[in-house]
Every structure is written in C-alpha cells, then in structure tokens.
Structure 1
Amino acid sequence: MPHTAPRYLAEGPRVGIRSFTPDDAAEFTARARQSRDLHRPWLFPPDTEEGYAAYARPLIEDPARAGFLVCEKHDGAIAGFININNIVRGGFQCGALGYGAFAHAAGRGLMREGLDLVINHAFGPLGLHRLEINVQPGNAASIALARGAGFRLEGFSPAMLHVDGAWRDHERWALTAEMRPAGRPPRTTG
C-alpha cells in the first residue's frame, strides 16, 4: 500500500507514532480484516470504512482521547494502534490505554517500541501522570506488552468491560511518571 505518511509525533529506530487521519481508513480496515484471527476474542477494531470513521472521529476530535498509529518507518505501513482513552485532567492526569498490533507486525517488537514512544509522549507533551491498561487475564500477549513496558499489576476487576457480547474480567495494570525514567528510549527486539 503506498504511503504519504504525515509527520511523526515521535520516532524510534524502527517505528514512528502519528495521529489517526480520515485518510487512513482503507489501510486500517484492510489490516483489521487481515488480523481477525489474531485479535479475536480480545479485540474488535473496525473493519469497514464506516466503522473506522466512527472509531477514529473521537480519537481525532475529543480532548479526552488521543489516538496513535504505530507505523514502520521504512515504508510508513501501519503496524498497529495505541489509544489513550478516558483522559481525566485536574488532580488525576490519567488515561486508559488500549492497543492492537496488526497480523503482519505481530511478534516483531514494533508495538513494544511504539508503546514506549506513546508512554514518553503521554508523560511528556500530554502532561499525564498515570496510564492504566485493563487486560483480560487470558490475553498473554497484551499482558506481556504491559509488563515489558514497566506497568505493574494493581488488581483484578470482575465483569469490568462488555466485550464480544459478555461482561469480561480484567486485570488492572498501571504506570506512573515516577516509575519511568524521563525520556526512556524505546526498547527494541530483533
């Protein structure tokens, strides 16, 4: 897929992060369709252009959300996405992360590098103090990503989130700015 990627907000050795745009619909939804087996039963990213428009609009327009596409620097291909949802300002300065890799990028360490970039951006330019990740206990890849980025397990929430037609249990993982050295460079594998 040809790319004319917008400027990255932050870059690591192999990936850059950038905001969602309406023009990303075709590539994002094609990759979501190609990644169904990887995502199910944990994640259901939009796989139609109409679904993408409804999904991306708040990530672009709502100040309580920030959406980032993780893109491979060598060709601009979208490797995955990381969103900060439910941003609360004031004394809290917190947001909840949600993320997903696309199948062609899974297992290559690209999301790990992208997550480090998003964390640095959240604790830097966005001015957040705390990030949380809620993960279904059986989602080993997501838990490994959270743990590897320095998040700590804080608890368990029964029937926390409605996913795939049922209320699902989630583990709560968190990271604060004090837990992370300032400007920590992205870790890479491979």
Structure 2
Amino acid sequence: MFLYELFFSVTTGFMGSLLVVLFLYRLKPKLDISPYIAEQPTHDSTPMFGFKIINRTPYPLVDIRIELVLVTPVNVNGGAVKSATALQLTRNDFFQLGKFDANDREADYALRVGCSQDIRSLWLSDTQDLRINVIARHSLSGFCAVKSYIFHTKADIKPGKHVFGNSLKVEPVD
C-alpha cells in the first residue's frame, strides 16, 4: 500500500508541475515585425528608415532590445562566411511594450523604431541581407523570446511611414 501511495504522489506531483510549466511556456512573447521598411524623409532631406513591431500577447512585454544588422557574405579559403555589421538605431532598448488590445486607442502594443543611417547606400549587393532581431521578456512568466526578420532585397524598402495601430503596412506620406 505504501509503494502505491508513493508512486501516486510522485506521479501527480510531476503531472501538476508539468501542467504549470506548459501553461507558462504558452505565455512566451509573440511578436510581429513588419515585412516592410518605411523610408521617410526628415526635415533636412536625409531619409529615416523605420521598423514596426507589434506585441501579440495579452500581457505587456518588458526588457525589449532591438538590433539591426547588415549581413554580408565574404569569400574565404574553402567557402563563404557571413560578416555582420551593426547599424545604429535611434533607440534600441525599451522598458515596456503594452499588451495587445485591438480597442487600445493609443496602440501601446505597437512600437516603431528608426535608423538614421542611409541603408540604401550601405546595402550594396543583392547577396547582402538586412536582419532585425528583437529580444523581449514576458512580464508574467518571465520567459524570453527572440524574433528575427530578414529583409532579402531593397524592394522591401517602401516610401512612407508605417500605419498607426494594428497594421504592419506602409502608407505613402503626402
């Protein structure tokens, strides 16, 4: 009888712990990154390149870090390797990104960040890629997620600005 109770206790404890971990794992950050880069001229006629990120979870995200990297293949003896050049964003660390709520009039779940470097002049070859990496922590579970998006061609750069709110599209600026 004692072995049966011990086995039953260990099994139910393990199953309960597993269910809690599975529930918390579902609470990892879910991010969307716009497949378009918005190119908008500034007051001094230099372009500002914009990127948009949306939090799709019903909880805020914290400790958000963003990096923008231009990846260039380099031929070496025996093959090719990729060389990464970090591009400077206007801001790359954010404390919080609000929870997703389609009725949020302020769109606190969306984040736009810019790059003032001229991406078009740095992106010299069709073999290069532009990669944006976003790292965020879920405020309830504490789990982190890394979301990356790779822009393969300059055709992903659209003149205009990202649409306000839940859309990832770029609209022309009048």
Q: Scaled by the length of structure 1, what TM-score is found?
A: 0.26
Judging by fraction of residues, say which structure has more strand: 2
Q: Scaled by the length of structure 2, what TM-score is found?
A: 0.27
Judging by fraction of residues, say which structure has more helix: 1
Larger Rg: 2
Higher relative contact order (CA 8 A, sep 6+): 2
